[in-house]
Amino acid sequence: MDWFGRAKIDFAHAATPLPLTRKDGSQTDLLKVVEAAVPKCQMNPLLFNGHFQTMYTAVKEHGPQIYYKRKIFDADHKTYAGTFAVDFVVPQHKDFDEELPPRTAFYSEEEFAGIGSDDSKPMLIALHGLSGGSHEIYLRHAIAPLVMDGGEWEVCVVNARGCANSKVTTGVLFNARATWDVRQFVKWARKMFPNRPLFGVGFSLGANIMTNYVGEEGANCPLKAAIAVSNPFDLEVSNKGLQRTWLGKEVYSKIMGNNLKKLFEQHKEQILKYTNVDYDRVQNVTYLHEFDRAVQTVTWGYPTENAYYRDASSCDAILAIRIPFLAISALDDPIAVKEAIPYQEFAVNPYTVLCTTSLGGHLSWFEIGGGRWHPKPICNFLNAMATDINLEAVSREEKMVGDGKYQFNTDFNPVRRKLNVLE
């Protein structure tokens, strides 16, 4: 046990990290920016391991009072049509819609028609975790310093299909590799806010999606930098990690399986209308992997849940990232297990840095007094990148030259999909 809740912090990175230029012309690198952004990690000593940290999330708290306005987007993907919901952080309002999460209302057509702007405020695009949404407390804690008490960021949350009381208009829910909606939204944001530097952050399953998206975009990624928090990285390894212990299977996997069954019930009419999902089979689901077997493999066309996990995993995508990228993980995370962390991939890609803490659990990091640690490195890193670093000077070369310590002379395609979409 770490002494009195003081977690150890370590960094995995390339031998020669990505060079960066500050706006004043001085030189630094990605590792130095990350090290300066990450404060000491002092956890609540009563929550002295990952299980206590993670289970404490069940304690109800109000969290920061973030207000949203929602817009429904029509998906432009030829195969995966339908709609998805994006919640934009807005000033306090009282126009709540009962059918939406707390403090959330729909944009009126008139309001949304005037949303475009030529301002240069930094804008953060967030992705939540499994079956969650913009209302999640861990997410609101992370974005609150950016938008409250004088924070000058614009923030929005892309909700996974069917989540956060959004409607499913086709036969599919989310997918751990479904990068289409976030890609469409980033393109839209780039058009509507041409002068805003765009950044991304993902949590848990959303971290896996964000990592895959940034890897798929490579050197052409419209984002200036991105963060992945509590990423499961290798979904097959994480799934096996859940099933190997009693707590993993009978607590975490069961809770996530039940949450997904509830989500399915909310949208069963549309899902059953458009797919061959066996409803009785879904009713008998107990664990997360059973839900993936009964629903995800059928709706997305994977032969097994393990095939789905391997195809959707983001560990290889680390190799394709060409923007400054920070991952934050706790080594005692019982859901995104440490065995799934791709240390070697971080060690060969200078665009990436992995920060690990010895304590923290899954999306938890509870401090004494009920605060959380993870918003500090997230906001420090984002503010440093947005205010101190000359983002236009960041090199995105496929082969970084100079000292010759890192090269990408390979035909390995880290984001090649196994699932072919037949048009």
Split at pLDDT 50, 70, 90, the class of 188 is: very high
Give 227's strand partners: 201, 326
271-274: long-range pairs with CB below 8 Å, 24+: 271/168, 271/171, 271/172, 271/173, 271/295, 271/299, 273/171, 274/170, 274/171
What integer is the mean pLDDT of 10-17? 96
pLDDT at 249 over 50: yes
Tell which residue, 258, 276, 80, has the closest CA to residue 178.
80
- Helix ranges (H only) for 150-304 are 180-192, 205-217, 235-243, 246-247, 254-274, 279-283, 288-291, 297-300
Boundary residue ending a domain (285, 312, 339): 312
pLDDT over 90 (residue 58): no
Alpha-carbon distance of 103 to 87, in angstroms, equals 11
Residue 77 annotated as catalytic: no
293 and 342 housed in the same domain: no
CATH classification at residue 364: 3.40.50.1820
Comparing CA positions, the residue from 131, 127, 130 lying closest to residue 142 is 127
pLDDT at 186 over 80: yes
- 398: confidence class by pLDDT, cuts 50, 70, 90: low
Judgement on whether residues 244 and 149 belong to the same structural domain of the protein = no
Residues 177 and 256 in one domain: no
Does residue 406 register a pLDDT over 80?
A: no
**Residue type, position 67, single letter:** Y
Reported as a single tens digit per residue, the pLDDT across 99-151 is: 999 999 999 999 999 999 999 999 999 999 999 999 999 999 999 999 998 88
Q: What are phi and psi of 334, to 5 degrees?
A: -85, -5
Set 333, 358, 364, 374: catalytic member: 333
Q: Which residues contact 213 (CB under 8 A, 6 or more apart)?
A: 179, 182, 183, 186, 200, 221
pLDDT value at position 423? 57
Which of 281, 312, 343 is the last residue in one of the domains?
312
CA distance 200 to 237: 25
Residues 269 and 370 in one domain: no
Total count of domains within the chain: 2
| 265 and 343 inside one domain | no
Mean pLDDT of 252-271: 95
Distance between alpha carbon 19 and the CA centroid of its chain, in Å? 25
Catalytic-role residue among 204, 253, 329, 358: 204
State whether 239 and 201 are in the same domain. Answer: no
283 assigned to some structural domain: yes
Query: Is residue 412 in a domain?
Result: no
Counting residues of the chain whose pLDDT is more than 70, the rounded percentage is 96
Is residue 362 flagged as an active site residue? yes
* 351 belongs to a structural domain: yes
pLDDT tens readout for residues 286-310: 999 999 999 999 999 999 999 999 9
Task: Say if residue 76's pLDDT is above 60.
Answer: yes
Q: Is 194 inside a domain boundary?
A: yes
Confidence of residue 84 (pLDDT cuts 50, 70, 90): very high
- Last residue of a domain, which of 269, 295, 312? 312
Same domain, 254 and 305: yes
Residue 79 confidence (pLDDT): 84
Do 261 and 326 have their domain in common?
no
- pLDDT tens, position by position, 343-396: 999 999 999 999 999 999 999 999 998 899 999 999 999 999 999 999 999 998
Look at residue 308 in the predicted model and tell me its pLDDT. Answer: 96
- pLDDT for the residue 404: 45
**301 and 325 inside one domain:** no
From the candidates 141, 267, 362, 374, which is the catalytic residue? 362
The answer as to whether 118 is a domain residue is: no
Instruction: Say if 291 falls within a structural domain.
Output: yes
Catalytic status, residue 333? yes
Which residue type occupies 298? V
CA angle 220, 76, 161 (to 5 degrees): 100
In a domain, 384, yes or no: yes
Judgement on whether residues 158 and 267 belong to the same structural domain of the protein: no
As a whole number, mean pLDDT of residues 168-188 equals: 92
So what's the pLDDT on residue 410? 55
Q: What percent of the chain lies above the pLDDT cut of 90?
A: 86
Predicted pLDDT at 403? 45
Domain region containing 350: 3-64+123-162+173-233+320-393
Domain presence at residue 403: no
According to the model, what pLDDT value does residue 402 have? 40
In this structure, are 37 and 156 located in the same domain?
yes
Name the token pair of 223: 């984002």
User: Could you read off the pLDDT of 306-324 as tens digits, one per residue?
Assistant: 999 999 999 999 999 999 9
Do residues 55 and 179 share a domain? yes
Which comes out higher in pLDDT, residue 252 or 409?
Answer: 252
Buried/exposed code over 403-423 (b: 16+ C-beta within 10 A; e: otherwise): eeebeeeeeeebbeeeeeeee
d(CA 408, CA 405): 10
